Amino acid sequence: MAIDLTFHGAAQTVTGSCIELACGKQRLLVDCGLFQGARSLEALNHEGFPFDVSAIDAVILTHAHIDHSGLLPRLAADGYKGPIWCTAPTRDLIGYMLADSAHIQESDALHHNKRRDRADEAEREPLYTVADAEAAVALVQTVALDTWFDPAPGIRARLWNAGHILGSASIELVADGVSLLCSGDIGPVARALQEASSGPAGMDHVICESTYGDRDRNDLDPARRQLLLRDEIQSALAAGGNLIIPVFAVERTQELLFDMAALFESGALAEHQVFIDSPLATRATDVFLHADLPGTRDGAVFHHPAFHFTATTAESVRLNSTSGAIIMAGSGMCEGGRVRHHLIHNLAREDSTILFVGYQAKGSLGRTIVDGARRVRISGEDLAVKARIRRIDSYSAHADREDLLAWIAARKPIHGTLFLNHGETEAIAALGEACEGIDLRKPAIGEIYRLEAGKPARRLSTGDPAIQAVVSGDWQNAYADFAVNLKRDLQRIHDDAARQRAIAQMRRILDEFAVHRAEHRDASASRRTRPPARHRHQR
């Protein structure tokens, strides 16, 4: 009587959430998310699934964010035809979000294939298409919170409010006499649009996210947070340039609009033109309009006359010539979407401000800017960073360390094991240090554990070292930083002859690594007797 649990993503990293549960002949996925951030990490999306798609009986989705749902179209394209269980708001949101993600996949592939600097590379196929996204959404079956259902024979499940975004849920599972709770992403206590998270106690095993496990934020109540936002807006616009806010289309956009409308209507802040330059955020806001959320006056707050939702590319392009505007654009970590174009036109302006209001994953462009990069590379263009870089943590949709510890305490007693996932290594380590008296595991991608009732989990298989190397660092971001500063660094050398020697030495080092790689590849080929690591655990 046991469950085998495999972590396929979001283990010692914050994206790519996907957990596989095997109970007898039944196979179940909790989430099927896209890896985001570093280019090397995103490359994992293009590898085959590390499980047999035809063996999966059901998927349960915690919420709509793409790092939890974004590979569902790929799953459908690979032949999955079973149910995808989630709440009704999550269904409504992924209808837009997966279509938007598919459009990005198609347009990115087209753009990549047209770039002159990549003319000698093989043409890239989109990860999936709009038709694949539609096929995935067609598989969705909705279930209400606090309602038992059977996603697969012999497996019972129930959803609990996670307080993260609209429709988000934690998942309680019972199979073969073993109980398991998957937290999904947990929201902070102080939220304007969502109620606090909830969940059962006394489980055998618990999987808890750890995104902010290493920090306690100064989470403010809505009124104080609005004043903090007011100060940032006033300071940014007083500088004379634009205020660019990279936003996640779901929840973050709507919370900002909620607070701005309150500031405008109370007179605490003079009205300014606010442009929401994200078609996905526009569609997501329509879902919020019909969600009957407290304080939104039946959604009227999202239609303040100062708010302008840009519908076309031409409207977005016209914003490039503006000054003194507030521009909210996706994506939140600056890895795609229209915000990259606004960064191209504003990063080098000393009078413009970039205000970050969400988590920036390691390896993302947003993280690079927040960490103080002097120059960045966007769409093949090198840009100096002269704009004011500001950050507000109070809008995070994730629980901080204190909130996570309170959530874990409310789940006690935990009779078996507490798994900490969905966090970077430092965050997981910090959270784990505070979890006393519990059998604790910090899984890596690819690890398999056997879960039994009332007993600590037993690890059956270790993770893949090659994937862990990708998780821990990204050579392409290091290259971008090196490349954009290379000319400047060479100019600091005292004469041309010394510069030539430096270039020749760098060339020799690269050639030595290339020879070593070829020798290693030949040696590996001669002893290869089993499938690639990502496919070893197929059933």
| Cis before 331? omega within 30 | yes
Q: What is the pLDDT of residue 536?
A: 37
Residue 136 CA to residue 99 CA, distance in Å, equals 10
Q: What is the pLDDT of residue 494?
A: 82
Q: What is the pLDDT of residue 39?
A: 78
Q: Which amino acid is at 116?
A: R
Structure tokens given for 32? 């099927």
The structure's pTM equals 0.84
pLDDT tens digit sequence for 446-496: 999 999 999 999 999 998 777 777 776 555 556 666 776 787 788 888 888
Residue 330 CA to residue 223 CA, distance in Å, equals 25
Q: What does the radius of gyration of the chain's CA atoms come to, in whole angstroms?
A: 24
Q: What is the pLDDT of residue 528?
A: 39
| SS3 assignment, position 438 | coil
Residue 82 CA to residue 236 CA, distance in Å, equals 50
Q: What is the DSSP letter of 336?
A: S
DSSP character string of 84-104:
EEE-HHHHHHHHHHHHHHHHH
pLDDT tens digit sequence for 361-415: 888 899 999 999 999 999 888 999 999 999 998 888 899 999 999 999 999 999 9
Q: What is the pLDDT of residue 479?
A: 66
Residue 262 CA to residue 266 CA, distance in Å, equals 6
Q: What is the pLDDT of residue 232?
A: 97
* SS3 track for 31-93: CCCCCCCCHHHHHHHHCCCCCCHHHCCEEECCCCCHHHHCCHHHHHHCCCCCCEEECHHHHHH
* SS3 track for 218-264: CCCCHHHHHHHHHHHHHHHHHCCCCEEEECCCCCHHHHHHHHHHHHH
**Please, where are the H alpha helices in 115-214?**
130-137
Q: What is the pLDDT of residue 481?
A: 64
Residue 143 CA to residue 157 CA, distance in Å, equals 10
| SS3 assignment, position 52 | coil
| SS3 assignment, position 141 | strand
Please list the ranges in the chain whose pLDDT falls under 50: 524, 527-539
Judge contact between 330 and 5, C-beta under 8 A. no
Q: What is the DSSP letter of 529?
A: -
